[in-house]
């Protein structure tokens, strides 16, 4: 059985308060009860002393008589308070006896107290006991006062009422704390669970494909805010990925459509006999097929390097050697366009994936060759900065307009759209370069000015992370 956060939190708070209140009430009851008993004991001792003292004063030493009337008044008062008094003179003769005076009242008082104490304190095992006190006047014993009362202690009607109202107050406080804790717990839980409910709703929306959904609420709980922020970030990423996926499909379709349509119409014309199958026309069809095949290879390469688990086969490589070899591959193009390529500088050997770095160099040198007009110059420079090496490939070709620079590493992006049919580019080369370099823990930067030339700088750590 799963409970909501609201129920759990309210119940937990209520339970804690209930336990605390119960414990406090119990302890309060126990301690106050004990203190009260002590207080009652002292009070009773004082009361008996008071009775004895006032009775002692009723002896007239001159006439050697007792003022029985006064003793009667004192005795009756004491009786109402639960003390049964008997006064003896020096000769041990009874001067005044409560029981003799009003037997019925005495029994009533005794029964009343015994009944009350037995019901409220059954474990006390109390009973009426009598104590003798000497009646002393000016240091001289003038008689004896015998007082019986319910021992070890007894509580009067007022005392019981006091304890009862104390208990009532404690119970009242307990109920009030419990109710207010349930109320506060409920409010707290509501404030906590509301943003979570909203977050869950938006998360469901996102998982249902609505990537534009965002949580705009702010809570005053740090963790919940963090949750909201990461879900919004997740939605951002999903939205971006979805956009890229859609764009990729559209781009691939677009890239394939032109060469396929061209080849299709050419072949149609040849089949229907509209065109003579000359070598040139067949070659044009072949060229379109080559474009398609190149695009597919590029896409395959991109898919490989962009896959998250791109495995780098790291070995020790010499960048100068690699650059030299790669430039050699472009000998024909360089010669055809009368381009001058120089390699300068140097750097220590690094640990990286040789094939992938070769691909980076190939893509960058190929771009430099493609986008540099006849007679231009390409410079490859190697250098070392701290724990990294830098390869820069600079040309004085057509350059890239400033407003297009931020996009050139995106898949299928070509700076000057009209240019690509001449150069045969598909706009994937730099995306591959970026993926490979990033996988090595490096960075790619570019500086370029239209009609002045471009410079691509690759920074690679000497020892690759992967
Ligand atoms: P492409 O196959 O079109 O060359 P890339 O991803 O390699 O694709 O490059 C993307 C775009 O960046 C190119 O279309 C081109 O406009 C621009 N570009 C890349 N390298 C250079 C360069 N050296 N000089 C000028 N423009 C360049």
Strands (E), 13-112: 59-60, 65-66, 84-89, 94-97
- pLDDT at residue 418, as a whole number: 47
Per-residue buried b or exposed e for 143-182, using 16+ beta carbons within 10 Å of the residue's own CB: bbbbbbbbbebbbbeebeeebeeeeeebeeebeebbeebb
Evaluate the omega torsion of the peptide bond into residue 152 and state whether it is cis, within 30 degrees of 0.
yes
Per-residue buried b or exposed e for 43-59, using 16+ beta carbons within 10 Å of the residue's own CB: ebeebbeebbebbbebb
- Does the beta carbon of 453 sit less than 6 angstroms from any atom of ligand 1? no
Instruction: Report CA(80)–ligand 1 centroid distance (Å).
Output: 115
Give the separation between CA 203 and CA 234, rounded to whole angstroms.
10
- Does the beta carbon of 408 sit less than 6 angstroms from any atom of ligand 1? yes
Nearest CA owner, ligand 1 atom 25: 399
Per-residue pLDDT reduced to its tens digit, 315-348? 999 999 999 999 999 999 999 999 999 999 999 9
- The answer to whether 358 touches 322, Cβ cutoff 8 Å, is yes
Instruction: Report CA(339)–ligand 1 centroid distance (Å).
Output: 18
Instruction: Report CA(414)–ligand 1 centroid distance (Å).
Output: 6
- Does the beta carbon of 376 sit less than 6 angstroms from any atom of ligand 1? no
Helix (H) or strand (E) holding 364: helix 354-370
**How is 33-52 classified by DSSP, letter by letter?**
HHHHHHHHHHHHHHHHHHHH
Helices then strands, counting H and E runs in the chain, come out as: 12, 13
Per-residue pLDDT reduced to its tens digit, 356-380? 999 999 999 999 999 999 999 999 9
Residue 60 pairs with which residues in a beta bridge? 65
Give the separation between CA 25 and CA 258, rounded to whole angstroms.
88
In the block, which residue shows the tokens 């771009």?
Answer: 367
Instruction: Report CA(427)–ligand 1 centroid distance (Å).
Output: 7
- The answer to whether 133 touches 144, Cβ cutoff 8 Å, is yes
- Does the beta carbon of 399 sit less than 6 angstroms from any atom of ligand 1? yes
340-345 and 377-385 beta bridge pairing = parallel
- Does the beta carbon of 400 sit less than 6 angstroms from any atom of ligand 1? yes
Low-confidence ranges of the chain (pLDDT < 70): 308-309, 416-424, 464-466
- The answer to whether 363 touches 329, Cβ cutoff 8 Å, is no
Query: Of all atoms in ligand 1, which is nearest to the CA of residue 393?
Result: 23
Helix (H) or strand (E) holding 315: strand 314-317
Give the separation between CA 209 and CA 228, rounded to whole angstroms.
18
Nearest CA owner, ligand 1 atom 14: 414
Instruction: Select from 415, 421, 428, 446 the residue to mutate for testing ligand 1; criterion: most ligand atoms less than 8 Å from CB.
Output: 415
Helix (H) or strand (E) holding 420: helix 420-423
Instruction: Report CA(420)–ligand 1 centroid distance (Å).
Output: 9
Query: Of all atoms in ligand 1, which is nearest to the CA of residue 430?
Result: 6
């Amino acid at each position: 059985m799963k409970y909501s956060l609201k129920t759990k939190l309210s119940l937990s708070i209520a339970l804690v308060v209930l336990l605390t209140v119960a414990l406090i009430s119990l302890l309060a009851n126990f301690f106050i009860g004990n203190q009260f008993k002590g207080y009652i004991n002292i009070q009773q001792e004082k009361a008996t002393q008071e009775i004895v003292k006032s009775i002692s004063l009723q002896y007239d030493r001159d006439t050697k008589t007792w003022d029985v009337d006064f003793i009667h008044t004192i005795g009756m008062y004491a009786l109402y308070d639960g003390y049964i008094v008997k006064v003896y003179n020096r000769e041990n003769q009874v001067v005044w006896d409560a029981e003799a005076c009003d037997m019925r009242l005495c029994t009533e008082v005794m029964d009343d107290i015994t009944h009350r104490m037995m019901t409220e304190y059954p474990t006390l095992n109390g009973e009426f006991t009598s104590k003798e006190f000497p009646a002393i006047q000016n240091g001289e014993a003038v008689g004896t006062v015998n007082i019986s009362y319910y021992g070890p202690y007894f509580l009067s009607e007022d005392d019981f009422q006091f304890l009862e109202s104390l208990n009532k107050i404690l119970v009242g406080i307990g109920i009030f704390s419990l109710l207010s804790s349930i109320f506060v717990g409920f409010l707290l839980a509501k404030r906590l669970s509301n943003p979570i409910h909203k977050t869950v709703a938006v998360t469901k929306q996102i998982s249902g494909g609505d990537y534009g959904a965002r949580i705009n609420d702010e809570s005053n709980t740090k963790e919940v805010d963090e949750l909201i922020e990461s879900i919004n970030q997740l939605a951002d990423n999903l939205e971006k990925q979805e956009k890229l996926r859609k764009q990729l499909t559209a781009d691939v379709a677009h890239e394939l459509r032109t060469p396929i349509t061209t080849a299709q119409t050419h072949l149609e014309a040849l089949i229907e006999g509209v065109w003579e199958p000359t070598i040139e026309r067949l070659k044009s069809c072949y060229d379109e097929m080559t474009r398609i095949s190149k695009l597919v290879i590029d896409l395959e390469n991109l898919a490989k390097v962009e896959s998250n688990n791109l495995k780098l086969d790291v070995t020790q490589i010499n960048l100068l050697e690699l650059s030299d070899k790669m430039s050699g591959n472009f000998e024909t193009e360089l010669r055809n366009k009368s381009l001058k390529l120089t390699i300068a500088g140097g750097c220590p050997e690094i640990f990286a994936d040789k094939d992938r770095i070769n691909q980076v160099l190939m893509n960058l040198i190929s771009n430099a060759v493609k986008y540099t007009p006849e007679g231009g110059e390409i410079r490859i420079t190697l250098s070392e900065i701290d724990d990294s090496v830098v390869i820069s490939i600079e040309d004085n070709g057509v350059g890239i307009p400033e407003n297009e620079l931020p996009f050139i590493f995106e898949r299928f992006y070509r700076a000057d759209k009209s240019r690509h049919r001449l150069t045969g580019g598909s706009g994937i080369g730099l995306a591959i370069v970026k993926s490979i370099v990033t996988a090595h823990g490096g960075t790619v930067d570019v500086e370029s000015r239209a009609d002045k030339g471009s410079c691509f700088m690759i920074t690679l750590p000497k020892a690759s992370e992967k």
